[in-house]
Structure formats: structure tokens, C-alpha cells
């Protein structure tokens, strides 16, 4: 604006006509400095008024945009389309059978996990569950892996997670290559657990006649990062691969490899019989195998009136463990961010009573049966039903319970985000541990009334009516 005012002043002086009388010219020249000052002040005032008007207009525009109900015609362009409300239960529940199936020639994979790109979710319910895992920093991802007979989960490793698996059905042969170049191979059957530390190459081969079905837990709440051996090979230049492997024929041999059009993550070539003539499924010594294997179905059963619990975890006091179980327990504890696995069987009408965990988030998969689940946290109480294939998630410290609701037993596989021994407190335990006069004051109830709550000699973690 100063430049504009200056230009106005220059134009004004050029348009002054000569005046005949000397006194008039003198008077005009004498007034000229005051005219310059007046013009400057007028321009300054104009600038101030213009700025004030501009700010007022911007304020009105902002108010109109932030309150679209005042201008109905603007709603289509200024208000984003909002998704419909999601039932809060989907923070804790994933209907895995409804999720996307990743098909391969040798099997299929499904996921209950967080995804970086929201477009990768099939539904807003699935997104709510994945976002909950990530926001709670759960260190949890779950996948199901189905491998056809003779199918192979290709050798691979995970950048950002340990992997814990449970074989629900079938027979598999496992291979693991550790950082000391030691190869460990072993067979696994239904009810047994496998473990692969982060960045450890491993493979899974179905050596039975029926499909293998694995439940796999990964210790990350971010998107899982994985590299398959064939993808790495074909991403490596021919010269580098030749110099590294030093095959007969050199680089010409490397050129005989051809990348398949389809992803070979779970592989089953149609001409497998022509390719493999003499397969050997050897078993390594127990001292190696039990670092990556645990016989959960053969482990100690913790029996309760309403069900049974078995655990594959680190034990601070391993006095009751076998020598092989001690190998597994200690190996788990040597790695960061490992998980504890557990099977929980709840009889018909049995209740896993309200409880919470001090040191772990919990994720579970329904293998059989059905149940009603309740979660109590600062938001209130959320209840929902679960069925076969459903995945549940309980954040650390959230009290929760599970009540079997079918004629058949409820069987769950649970994972806990701790490499230490799981720490849990049940409702009956903390009621019994609280002084009765404290309870009387809290509940406005006479102190002797709390003697009606019995103390049991048998643990009631899973009870019956």
C-alpha cells in the first residue's frame, strides 16, 4: 500500500497547472508538505480499514464453514462423509471367517491384524479391531495358516516379530536355521506348539494326508514384515547370486531359475512328484528341537471345577518341568517380546470368572464351542457372543470373563504378550484379600454380611454353578 500511495502522490504533482500570480504559487508550494502528509495519513487509514474488513470477512467465512448447519447448501462440499457408528465390541472382537482369504496353490492365510492402509480392511468392524490392537500397543497379531497335503509354507523370516504357532489339525515337518547356521528339523502334530524367534529363517511342510491348520501369533501390533526366500533370490542380481552360491555352471545355472507368476508363499507345484524324488524328514536332537517346540497337549493340566488350562510359557520356578520343557521355558525368556500360549477348556455352563492380567495383553481364538464374553473397563461393560473362528482381544488391566454357552466344551487358544510368567488376579481372590470392614464401608453393607462369601480350598478360576 505504501507504494500505491507513493504513485498517487507523484501523479498529483504532475497534474498541477502553472499559476500566473507569484503569491498563489508561493502559497501552493508552502502547503505542499501538508498535502503530502494528509495523503499519507488518508492512505494509512484506508489500509487499516481494508485490513479490518478483510479480517471480518475471513472470520465470517470460517464461522460458516465450522457451523455447516447455518448454510445447508454448503454441506455437500465442506462436510466429509462420515462412516456409520461401529459397535464398541469390535475393539475386542474380530469375526475372522469374514476376513479376506489370501489363496495360494498350497493353501490359504487369513489375518486379524493392524494394517497401515485403511483400504486394506474389508469392513469398518475389522478396522476397529486392527486399530484397537495398534493403539493399545498390544504386541499382538494373529493369522491362520492352512496348508494342503504336501504343501509348503516357503522358507521365510519376519523382521519385526517372534512367531508362536499351535497346530490344530494335521502333521507337519518344521525347519529352522539359526544365527549359528545350525539347522533344526522336527515333526509336530495336533496340540503342539512351535516357536520361531524374530529374523530366524524357518519353513513348514505338510507331511500328512489331511490339511494342516495352524493358529499363528506374532509379537507385533504393527503390520507384519516378512521376506520369503524365493522373493529374496529373484531380487538378487544374477552375478551376486552366482558369486555367493558358486554353483556348477556359474551364472548360467542361476539363469535357469524362473520366477513363478503366482505368489509361492504357500507352495504346491502340480508336478511335485517329478521334482522331489527322495524327501527325508529327519528329527534333530531334543536339545535343539525343544528350543522351537513344546508339547502343549502333553504338558501339565491345571484342573478346575469348570475346566482345564495348559500353558506354554516361561516359568520362574521350573522345578515341575521336564528337562525338555525347561529348554523351551529358558529359550523363550532369552528373547525379547516373546508370548505365552495357553489352551483353555471350559465345560458346558462353566465360567472363567472375572479376572485381569497385570503384565500382558491377551488375544484368543475360538477352536470349538461358543460363549458369552464380558469386558469391564473405564468405558463400562461390553458383552458379546463368540463362536468358532472368532478372535478376541483383552487389553492389559481390563477385567474380563468368558462363560461357555454351548452343549459342547468351549476350547480357546490364548496368547499373552509377556515373556515373563503370566500374572493374573481373579475376582474371588481380590474380594477375599480385601478386609471385610473396607468392603462394608464401600458397599454400605454390614461387616458380618461378607462372611456369606465362602472361601474354597479348590481354585475357582473356572467354576460351575
pLDDT at 180: 83
User: Is the model's pLDDT at 447 over the cut of 90?
Assistant: yes
Q: Using CA atoms, how far apart are residues 131 and 141, in angstroms rounded to an integer? A: 12
Q: Report which of residues 49 and 170 the model is more confident about.
A: 170
List, for residues 188-200, the tens digit of each pLDDT value.
Answer: 999 999 999 999 9
pLDDT tier for residue 379 given thresholds of 50, 70 and 90: confident
Instruction: Indicate if the pLDDT at residue 38 is higher than 80.
Output: no
56 versus 292: which is more confidently predicted? 292
What percentage of the chain exceeds 70 in pLDDT? 82
Check whether 225 has a pLDDT greater than 90. yes
Q: What's the rounded Cα separation, in Å, for the pair 416 and 207?
A: 30
Between CA 62 and CA 67, with CA 65 as vertex, the angle to 5 degrees is 105
pLDDT band per the 50, 70, 90 thresholds, residue 69: very low
246 pLDDT above the threshold of 90: yes
Task: Flag whether pLDDT at 286 surpasses 80.
Answer: yes
Give pLDDT tens digits for 140-164: 999 999 999 999 999 999 999 999 9
Q: Give 307-354 pLDDT, tens digit per residue.
A: 999 999 999 999 999 999 999 999 999 999 999 999 999 999 999 999
Is a pLDDT exceeding 60 seen at residue 235?
A: yes
* Top-confidence range, 51-55, 62-66, 310-314: 310-314
Q: For residue 77, name the pLDDT band (cuts at 50, 70, 90).
A: very low
370 in Cβ contact with 386 (< 8 Å) = yes
**Which grid cell sits at 372?**
458369552
Per-residue pLDDT band for 5 (boundaries 50, 70, 90) equals: very low
pLDDT bucket at 127, cuts 50 / 70 / 90? very high
Q: Is the pLDDT of residue 419 over 60?
A: yes
pLDDT given for residue 118 in this prediction: 93
Average pLDDT of span 228-252: 97
Amino acid at each position: 500500500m505504501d507504494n500505491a500511495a507513493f504513485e498517487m502522490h507523484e501523479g498529483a504533482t504532475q497534474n498541477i497547472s502553472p499559476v500566473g500570480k507569484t503569491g498563489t504559487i508561493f502559497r501552493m508550494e508552502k502547503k505542499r508538505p501538508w498535502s503530502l502528509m494528509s495523503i499519507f495519513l488518508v492512505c494509512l487509514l484506508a489500509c487499516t480499514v481494508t485490513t479490518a474488513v478483510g479480517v471480518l470477512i475471513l472470520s465470517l467465512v470460517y464461522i460458516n464453514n465450522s457451523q455447516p448447519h447455518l448454510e445447508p447448501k454448503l454441506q455437500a462440499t465442506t462436510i466429509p462423509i462420515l462412516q456409520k457408528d461401529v459397535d464398541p465390541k469390535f475393539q475386542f472382537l474380530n469375526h475372522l471367517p469374514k476376513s479376506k482369504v489370501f489363496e495360494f496353490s498350497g493353501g490359504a492365510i487369513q489375518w486379524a491384524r493392524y494394517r497401515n492402509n485403511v483400504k486394506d480392511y474389508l469392513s469398518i468392524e475389522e478396522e476397529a479391531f486392527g486399530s484397537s490392537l495398534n493403539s493399545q500397543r498390544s504386541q499382538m497379531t494373529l493369522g491362520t495358516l492352512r496348508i494342503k497335503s504336501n504343501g509348503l509354507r516357503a522358507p521365510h523370516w519376519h523382521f519385526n516379530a517372534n512367531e508362536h504357532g499351535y497346530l490344530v489339525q494335521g502333521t507337519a515337518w518344521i525347519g529352522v536355521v539359526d544365527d549359528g547356521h545350525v539347522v533344526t528339523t522336527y515333526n509336530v502334530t495336533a496340540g503342539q506348539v512351535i516357536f520361531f524367534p524374530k529374523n530366524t529363517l524357518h519353513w513348514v511342510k505338510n507331511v500328512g494326508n489331511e490339511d494342516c491348520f495352524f493358529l499363528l501369533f506374532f509379537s507385533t501390533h504393527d503390520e507384519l514384515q516378512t521376506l520369503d526366500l524365493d522373493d529374496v533370490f529373484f531380487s538378487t542380481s544374477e552375478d551376486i547370486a552366482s558369486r555367493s552360491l558358486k554353483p556348477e555352471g556359474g551364472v548360467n545355472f542361476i539363469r535357469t531359475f524362473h520366477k513363478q507368476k503366482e505368489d509361492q508363499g504357500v507352495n504346491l507345484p502340480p508336478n511335485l512328484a517329478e521334482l522331489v524324488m527322495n524327501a527325508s524328514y529327519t528329527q534333530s536332537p531334543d536339545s535343539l528341537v525343544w528350543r522351537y517346540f513344546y508339547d502343549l497337549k502333553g504338558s501339565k493340566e491345571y484342573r478346575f471345577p469348570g475346566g482345564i488350562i495348559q500353558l506354554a510359557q516361561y516359568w520362574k520356578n521350573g522345578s515341575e518341568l521336564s528337562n525338555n520343557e525347561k529348554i523351551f521355558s529358558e529359550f523363550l525368556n532369552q528373547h525379547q517380546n516373546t508370548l505365552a500360549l495357553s489352551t483353555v477348556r471350559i465345560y458346558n455352563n462353566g465360567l472363567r470368572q472375572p479376572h485381569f492380567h497385570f503384565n500382558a495383553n491377551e488375544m484368543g481364538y475360538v477352536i470349538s464351542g461358543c460363549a458369552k464374553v464380558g469386558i469391564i473397563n473405564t468405558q463400562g461393560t461390553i458383552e458379546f457372543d463368540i463362536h468358532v473362528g472368532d478372535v478376541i482381544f483383552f487389553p492389559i488391566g481390563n477385567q474380563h470373563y468368558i462363560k461357555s454357552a454351548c452343549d459342547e466344551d468351549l476350547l480357546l487358544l490364548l496368547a499373552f504378550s509377556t515373556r515373563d510368567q503370566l500374572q493374573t488376579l481373579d475376582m474371588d481372590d481380590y474380594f477375599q484379600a480385601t478386609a471385610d470392614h473396607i468392603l462394608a464401608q464401600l458397599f454400605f453393607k454390614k461387616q458380618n454380611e461378607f462372611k456369606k462369601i465362602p472361601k474354597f480350598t479348590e481354585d475357582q478360576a473356572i467354576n460351575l454353578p
